[in-house]
Structure 1
């Protein structure tokens, strides 16, 4: 009895949930605070542009070769385990960094290790669940990860609260703990039982249609082009936000942690509902909604005159964040041929990595140049770049309206809205 039970446990979802819980606990302890750590070490807007650019480029650009290799080998778990352990270990060196550029170079190496994980994790999740239940599975997986990440962030808050208010070394202990926890998360995945002939057997139960596959490939290419346009302008804000929060609005280390907590709580509260909605209407409607909601971010940070506005926008962004956690993976799994899941993840994320590398770098240097041009008026320089980000996001959001769902779902967004309106009009919840 014990052996069959263990086999079913290893073939099912529990090891995946365990990895997500442990890994995201470590991520909550560390990942949100790396840019702020760089700021405390004296990083400029240009330095943060490089930090964000490397963090965008290498985890994404190298996913394509790793994804193709994984599809060819027919295994996901070994790639995820190696990438997780290496990337987590590098938090020890991040904690020991003494200057912004030491930190930036270590983050670059860490990003290369992360690129091994991402396409294989997405493909593994797709292979462990059926299409009709992906939304619920991804939603529950993201909720588990979100709760664990929140736990890590709260622990970071406790550790930071006991340290000097604006000191860089306040973040070092959370980074060390994150390294240990991240290594454990990678080892947990060794419990996953994975068929070795995955690549050879995948898709044999589904007949191929060259015309349909060609149409889906064109849909995927259009989707990728639209998202690269949107993310190029989206990334303009990323190197500026830590400067706005830590320098312009003079946030303490505890404020920085609590802003992350607010976003996490908001996302967790909505995650399972978003997953269920995805199973009804499909990923495209949700992706379109998230693109319009994210338009608010650069305006909020650019015009904020107190940390209260940062807390408010952080709470509101729980909605699109919950969508991003489930909808993009679901779309790529819907549109990709079964034997090329990891390759399609690699293609999409590689394109995103290239444009966000350029966007973050351009924004960081442009803000630095404008601050010098305008006699050190940092707030005005940041606002100018935020407005460019706002304009680009707005144009990209309207382009997203042309994206099509590659697979039929039970309801359209209009049908669901009419049903909701009918129920509420008749006094029923």
Structure 2
């Protein structure tokens, strides 16, 4: 168990924070706008479900490979490689508008994220001790989130005077900024300090990972939840583009609120985990996700989506702090990236199935009365599934015993 040895932590540096801020700036633009770009170039509901499913597999399953390599070779080099490749691929999206090429490049972005994610999450563990893990990861994540906030403010500013419909041309400057900041993040990552690997030469044996009963229970619950959560993923972009016809500045505006609430949540949910335990924060972060699809169903303008995003920001902030903290608690020090990758790989399989299920059911069964009616029904089903499966996280083990919690929480 990782809590048996309280190893000394590294001191966070400007390079670490800079890597996080620049990377989050880049990723937030891609996360917010790539699916909208896909709709703008003509991707259909069915194609979107296949695309999101392929992204889920690429982003998550490959983390098993990268996670093990990270544990053996180190974190910094994989963060740099992922960031440089991501910058090149996002830059390529500036020059293409054919749906097939846009979809392929979006899958390429997902592969880059599969390289970066286990390396970055494992790296954060080098800067924590068991007793301060929640607070430290929460603080680093919150400061990194300022990159997302900055990206959305920039997007809002440069798109405020947009005239006419949203077209592929509307996204090009934002994509160029995302590409540049990804490369900046890669350069800064070369100056990050990390703890040396002690796994050189060892082979990947997933039996060691899945033999952990506490991890196995968490993974089972996470699979069920992942299917329920991702049921709505192919549907959101069509509400934004087709139903509400939102401008880029409107997407940026509600994204600012989301980034701000997420940053606040990450900062304080980390401290909260060190006081009340990990499980309550994990449960909260999952159940609150049920709110989002309902707001999209009743939305008539961008302010309704903004209200959803504020609430979602609190949930995502808690998720981004509690998820890595919980897995790092479970993992032996020398296998942190592998544990993190196993979790995201399993979740990727779940979201792959959920994406396909959501798109297929909506397109073939729910849309008999019209596409918009089918999408609304799909979103309502997803909301119910998210709430019910979120309750299952009460069944996971608590990794932070009462005896180790801060006295103020006793």
Q: How high is the TM-score relative to the length of structure 1?
A: 0.85
Partner Cα separation in structure 1 for residue 86 and residue 395 of structure 2: 37
CA–CA separation in structure 2 for the residues paired with 1:411 and 1:197: 28
8 Å contact 1:16–1:189 — kept in the other structure? Answer: yes
| Residue matched to 2:371 | 378
**In structure 2, what is the Cα distance between the partners aligned to 1:281 and 1:215?**
27
Task: Give the equivalent residue in structure 2 for 1:108.
Answer: 107
Please identify, of 231-240 and 267-276, the stretch whose mean Cα deviation from structure 2 is larger: 267-276
Partner of 1:324: 319
Highest Rg: 1 or 2?
A: 1
Aligned to 2:264, what secondary structure does the other structure show?
helix
Quote how far apart the aligned CAs of 1:216 are.
8.6
Could you tell me how far apart the structure 2 residues matched to 1:214 and 1:67 are? 12
Query: Which residue matches 1:91?
Result: 90
Unpaired segments of 5 or more residues in structure 2? Answer: 1-9, 201-207
* 1:293-331 deviation per Cα after TM superposition (whole angstroms, max 9, x unaligned): 111122222233443322211112222111011100000
1:128 is aligned to 2:123 = no
Asked if the contact 1:216/1:406 (under 8 Å) is kept, the reply is: no
Aligned partners of 1:236, 1:338: CA distance in 2, in Å? 35
Match of 2:257 in 1: 262
Greater mean alpha carbon deviation, residues 287-296 or residues 28-37: 28-37
Aligned equivalent of 1:297, options 288, 292, 296? 292
**2:227 matches 1:232:** yes
2:274·2:405 contact (CA, 8 Å) conserved in 1? no
Runs of 4+ with deviation above 4 angstroms = 213-216, 409-413
Alignment map for 1:185-334 (pairs within 5 Å): 185-199=185-199, 217-334=212-329
TM-superposition CA deviations, 1:199-223 (whole Å, max 9, x none): 37xxxxxxxxxxxx99991111110
Q: Distance in 1 between matches of 2:128 and 2:14?
A: 13
5 Å-filtered alignment, 1:146-157, equals 146-157=145-156
How far apart are 1:387 and its partner, in Å? Answer: 2.6
Aligned to 1:426: none
Return the offset for 1:197.
4.4
Query: For each residue in 1:263-315, what CA deviation from the matched residue of structure 2 results, as whole angstroms up to 9, or x when unmatched?
Result: 11222233322121111122211011112211112222223344332221111
Question: Does the residue aligned with 1:316 lie in a helix, a strand or coil?
Answer: helix
* Equivalent residue pairs, number: 392
How far apart are 1:411 and its partner, in Å? 7.7
Tell whether the 8 Å contact from 1:47 to 1:100 is kept in structure 2 after alignment.
no
Q: TM-score, normalised by structure 2?
A: 0.89
Name the SS of the counterpart of 2:284 in structure 1: helix
2:359 to 353, 360, 364: 364
Number of the residue aligned with 1:210? none
Aligned-residue CA RMSD in angstroms? 2.4
- Identify the range of structure 1 (304-313 vs 291-300) with the bigger mean alpha-carbon deviation: 304-313
Q: CA deviation at 1:369?
A: 2.6
CA contact (8 A) 1:23 1:182 kept: yes
d(CA) in 2 for partners of 1:233 and 1:300?
Answer: 17
8 Å CA contact 1:220, 1:335 repeated in 2: yes
Instruction: Tell me, yes or no, if the aligned pair for 2:367 and 2:373 is still in contact at 8 Å.
Output: no
The CA distance in 1 between the partners of 2:231 and 2:169, in whole Å, is 28
Q: SS state of the match for residue 294, structure 1? A: helix
